Each structure stands twice: as C-alpha cells, then as structure tokens.
Amino acid sequence: MSSTTSNHKRIFALVDVNNFYVSCERIFDLKLRDRPVVVLSNNDGCCIARSNEAKEMNITMGQPFFQIRRLEDEGILKVRSSNYALYADISSRFREILLGFTPDVEVYSIDECFLDFSKMNFKNLDSAAAEIRNTVWRWIHLPVCVGIASTKTLAKLANHTAKKNPELNGICILQDESAIRSCLEKTEVENIWGIGPAYTKLLKQNGIFNALSLSEMDDLQARKQMTIQGLRLVHELRGISCIEMETHPDPKKNIAVSRSFGAPAAELKDLREAVAVYAKRACEKLWHEKRLASTISVMIRDNPFNTERFYSNYQLAAFQNPTDNMNEIMKTAISLLSQIYKKGPNYKKAGVILGGLIPVSERPGMLFSGKKGRTADALNLLIQRQTAKKLSFASTGTSSAFWHTKFSKLSPRCTTRWEEIPRVRSQ
C-alpha cells in the first residue's frame, strides 16, 4: 500500500471549529454573541470551553467555576452547562458538510476533522479552504479554521497558526519551505500535537524550545526518549507523512462510564446505587456498539483536592465468558465495589469500565448460524429489554439523589427534541 503512495505528495487539511461548545450555544442564543461566554464540565465543575472574549479575560481551560462565579453574578460573563445532545448533533452536521468536499474524512474529535486532499487536484488550495469556511458558516453558523500541509502534524500546526493570527482569516497553508520553517520556529514545543507536559519538560531540559529544533532532533534520541511515537512526530515535522488517515475507525476497545458526584457519599449503599447506574449505562453502550465485554473494573475515589488522606482504588475482574448480560454486569460491578470500599473517605467519584470488547457475533455458543442462533438472539434481546426495564424502575426512585450530576445552566436541546425546538416570535 505504501508503495503506491510513497512518491505521491500528500495533502492533509485539518478543519477545526473555534471554541466548539460555545459556538454551538451561540447558534440558537443571540444573547451569547460578541461577549464573554464559558461552557462548564459535568457537575458545573470547571470551564471546558471559552469564547475568545472569555479567553481575553484570562479565564483558563479547566478553571474551576467557583473561582469566576463572581463574573457571572456581576453580569459580565455568560455561563452554560454542557449540552452534549446538542453538541453531538451539531458535530454530525459538521461532518456531513465536510463530506461534500472529499469522501476521505476522518472524524478526529467532536469538533475537528482531517480531510485527505492528496487525490483531489484542487487548483487553488486557498480557495478550497475559503469555500469550506464559508459553507460551514452559511449552513450551520459555526466558525472554523483550516490548516493545510503535507503531514497531519503540520496540518495541526497550520491550524493552530490560523487560530492565533486573525489576519490570516482562519486559513493557513504550509507549502513552501520558508513558510514552513518560519512557522516551525514560531511554534513552542508545548503547542505541538503529541507533546504534553512531561515531554515539554524533557525537551526543554535538552535545549529544545520550538518545533524547528524538535524537527532537527536526532532520530535515535527521539526514539529513546519519546518512544516510536516521538520519532514519528519528528519525521512528520520534517514533512514525511507517518500518521495515516483513519476514515473507518476500529471499534472501541473500552467502554467507560464515570462521574463526579453532585455531593460526596460515604456509605456503601449510596455508592452501590451510583455504581449500579453507571454499570447499567455502560451495558447500554455495549448493546449499542453490539459488543461483549471480557473484563470489568470499578473505581472509586474521594476528593483529590483533599490532599490529607486521598483514597483511590479500583478492582478488575474477568467474566467467565464475554458477556452483555446486564444482570451479570451489574452484579459483578457491585461485588467489585464491596471489595474496594472502605469506611471513612467521603467519596466524590465512581466509575465502571468494560474492557476486552469483542463483537456479539463471537459469543461463545453462538457459533452455529441459522434458525437456532436467531431464536437465541431474539430471546437474548427480550431478556435484555426486560432486565433494562426492571432495573431502570429500580433506579428511577433516585432521581433526586445527592450524587446526581448537576447541570444547572442547561440550554434547550434545540435540534434533537421537538418540545425544545426554538420558537420564532412574529412581530
């Protein structure tokens, strides 16, 4: 496969929505435009999206909300809880638009996609990029930046440059040698895709402060200090494409459901309730993905900011046979919980992780296809549905439970619920 592409100049575009969650909120709420806005994490805990105006006020990514609540009280800052139903729906519309430009689209995250333009023969990349920006704005009112280059890492870097320099009008194309060089030189190591806090520290100790010097790093040293991924990264910065497009992602390997509680819980019976609900949700995700889980682990922890006596623990178990049986999954989760629970801590978070996922078609004992298999399938489905019903009855009594996640500033689910659709007032 590589032989067909090795001599071919690659062209990758990265299209990324600016301040995605805030921009989604702004689509339907005009009051949020042109002013400082933040969107909060689960539990209204910290700021996970900020408008440019909010960034200018030095509100940082991940900043605890209680530290800036004052700004909301004073009417300076607008605040919203996370509205995941809305963001997921807008995200899929965003993807649909990009598919109109090339079939080779990789959904990299909820707010950004890689596009492979290598075979597209665009006469002018500048106008293609501008067309993408205009179309996304016209159709769903999202502001995006476009970065284009010969590797995914350089496209990321170009996108970052477009964001930081308003005079570029949201577009940065890295093609000629001198432009690439100057862009690399201006990019600090901590802003490179794949370089986190640990590698930043390590590189700076080695006298490497920007992307240009990282691109000149010795191969052996890169491999030794930052694993094979680090070596790939260095090559990508040199313009050698090592990270391929993933237009058809592999199925998930893990399914996790974990939450911080609205209020701490100390008693085993309270944690049991939370863990049961998370196990149930994890199982529902499992059904949706049509997978069986081979392992399950449960974690609990108290408040990590309480440094005095921080307690965190988890336990893993393997199922006898890979399963998607809700009863079995919930029972195992509760039993694991009782193994790690100890009296004393005020627990603030719990989670359930299903691992070793395999397709439902590989269920032991389902090897024989035909009528028998289908009957068993149908029976299983029936059991699953009934179990789900029974269990959800058991847990609905706790709708006001202390540990429930807080969403106190939620906007309407405008695009996915009829009853929450916005109304237009006629004058």
Partner DNA sequence: TCTGGGGTCCTAGGACCC
Site of interaction with DNA (CB under 7 A):
41-43, 45-46, 48, 62, 64, 66, 69, 108-112, 156, 192-200, 227-229, 250, 252-260, 264, 285, 295, 303, 305, 316, 318, 348-349, 351, 405
Pick 223 or 376: Cβ nearer DNA: 223
CB of 197 vs DNA, minimal distance in Å: 5
Pick 110 or 401: Cβ nearer DNA: 110
Rounded Cα gap, residues 341 and 352, in angstroms: 14
CB of 198 vs DNA, minimal distance in Å: 4
CB of 400 vs DNA, minimal distance in Å: 18
Pick 126 or 362: Cβ nearer DNA: 362
Pick 97 or 277: Cβ nearer DNA: 277
CB of 143 vs DNA, minimal distance in Å: 15
Give the E-state strand segments of 274-323 in sequence order.
291-302, 312-323
CB of 79 vs DNA, minimal distance in Å: 13
Q: What's the sign of the alpha-carbon dihedral 200, 203, 204, 205? A: positive
Phi, psi dihedral angles at 412 (to 5 degrees): -65, 150
Q: Token pair of 184, please?
A: 């690399």
CB of 50 vs DNA, minimal distance in Å: 13
Rounded Cα gap, residues 391 and 387, in angstroms: 6
CB of 195 vs DNA, minimal distance in Å: 5
CB of 220 vs DNA, minimal distance in Å: 13
Pick 130 or 213: Cβ nearer DNA: 213
Pick 122 or 295: Cβ nearer DNA: 295
Cβ neighbourhood burial of 30 (10 Å; 0-12, 13-18, 19+): exposed
CB of 373 vs DNA, minimal distance in Å: 26
Scanning 238-325, the segments in alpha helix (DSSP H) are: 268-289
Tokens 């400082």 belong to residue: 36
CB of 178 vs DNA, minimal distance in Å: 26
Tokens 């590189």 belong to residue: 203
CB of 264 vs DNA, minimal distance in Å: 7
Rounded Cα gap, residues 191 and 204, in angstroms: 13
Phi, psi dihedral angles at 293 (to 5 degrees): -100, 140
Contact 68, 84 (CB under 8 A): no
Pick 130 or 212: Cβ nearer DNA: 212
Rounded Cα gap, residues 49 and 69, in angstroms: 15
Rounded Cα gap, residues 337 and 151, in angstroms: 46
Q: Are strands 347-355 and 171-173 parallel, antiparallel or unpaired?
A: unpaired
Find, among 229, 251, 99, 50, the residue nearest to 152 by Cα: 229
Pick 130 or 401: Cβ nearer DNA: 401
Rounded Cα gap, residues 160 and 311, in angstroms: 39
Pick 120 or 256: Cβ nearer DNA: 256
Grouping H, G, I as helix, E, B as strand and the rest as coil, residue 250 is coil
Q: Token pair of 237, please?
A: 């910065």
Pick 255 or 326: Cβ nearer DNA: 255
Pick 305 or 393: Cβ nearer DNA: 305
Scanning 141-267, the segments in alpha helix (DSSP H) are: 152-164, 177-186, 197-205, 211-215, 219-237
Contact 280, 409 (CB under 8 A): no
Contact 295, 316 (CB under 8 A): yes
